[in-house]
Amino acid sequence: MTDDSALLRLPTVAKNHILYFCDYLEIARLRKVCHSLRNHIDLFKPDSHVKEVRLGARERAEICFDSENSSKIWIGYKEADDGCTVACKTHMGSPPATTIYGLDPMDALMQDFKIYLRHLKTPLTKLKLDEVSCDPLLQMMRSQTFKLKTNKLHLSELSSAQILAILPFFDANCLKNLIVENGEALGVFQELFETEIANVRQISHLKKFIGHISRATATDVEFLKNTFIRSPLFKRCTMEVDVDIDVLSIKEAFGAPSFDTMEGHSNRWHFHIPNDTTSVLLVEVICKQILQINRINRSIVIPGAVIIY
């Protein structure tokens, strides 16, 4: 399509009115027509003023956008023959439901959400994620190179495994408030902080963690040290390990321990925390089977212990 085509010569309001009645597949096709039309779609659709998003509701595949001006866009996806139907409700009315062939409801929802993320230039105020949408979102995010940005994250009815799996896909620099809503609220926090993990990177975003892992290598310990030393929110981490921790490899990475206790059964390294004159990061290996990393006050560092800069 050339830049002087009839569609591109339409006023912006008219083009946006046409886009309002297009479904996902139609918009995806229009983006491939030419650069000018793609740039227009990327700029104006969806509404750049959307600040709050809700993915899923109980068993239902649906997405809801809340705008700064209190307007809402609700999109619901239901199973249909050879695909799914998509219904939309807005403050401007409800266009007729359309059918998307070849996609199930949750796949269609994630395709639409992916388009929305392409236009997201500033962090969301709030994202609410229901259990029904968690695994599909995980699958989608594993193929992306960016992290989700939101100031408040509301997780509803997710298992502890899902919580641990989804958290690394959120930008920790943006996330200020985490809400976990569950029928057994206290239980889910207990599971979150006392659970078994397969990889140390699953807990690198957490403020506190108590749990279990089959193996922790010197590389894992160094990764956690480097991650936690940069995190102003981190407090403590305790992991019980099945396979004996290779203390010699850790000594090669960190140098000699700052302090040996219990006749060598406990090895401690104290690390200086940049831009923090009151705290140090303590990395401790106890009996080769317990790894503890804590942010502690400098005043309680044992006299004679070396602080590594």
pLDDT in tens, 30-89: 777 787 877 877 776 655 556 788 888 877 888 888 876 566 788 899 988 888 889 888
User: How far apart, in whole angstroms, are the C-alpha atoms of residue 178 and residue 181?
Assistant: 10
Structure tokens at 111: 């395709």
Residue 190, pLDDT score: 47
User: How far apart, in whole angstroms, are the C-alpha atoms of residue 256 and residue 151?
Assistant: 41
pTM value is: 0.53
DSSP 93: B
C-alpha distances in Å from residue 292, one per residue of 28, 235, 286, 304: 50, 11, 8, 20
User: How far apart, in whole angstroms, are the C-alpha atoms of residue 139 and residue 47?
Assistant: 25
Residue 260, pLDDT score: 64
The pLDDT of 241-257, averaged and rounded, is 86
**Domain parsing of the chain, residue ranges:** 1-45, 198-309
> For residue 82, which amino acid is it?
D
pLDDT in tens, 158-196: 887 788 788 889 887 788 777 777 654 444 454 444 455
Looking at every residue in the chain, the average pLDDT score rounds to 80
At residue 271 the predicted structure's pLDDT band, cuts being 50, 70 and 90, is very high
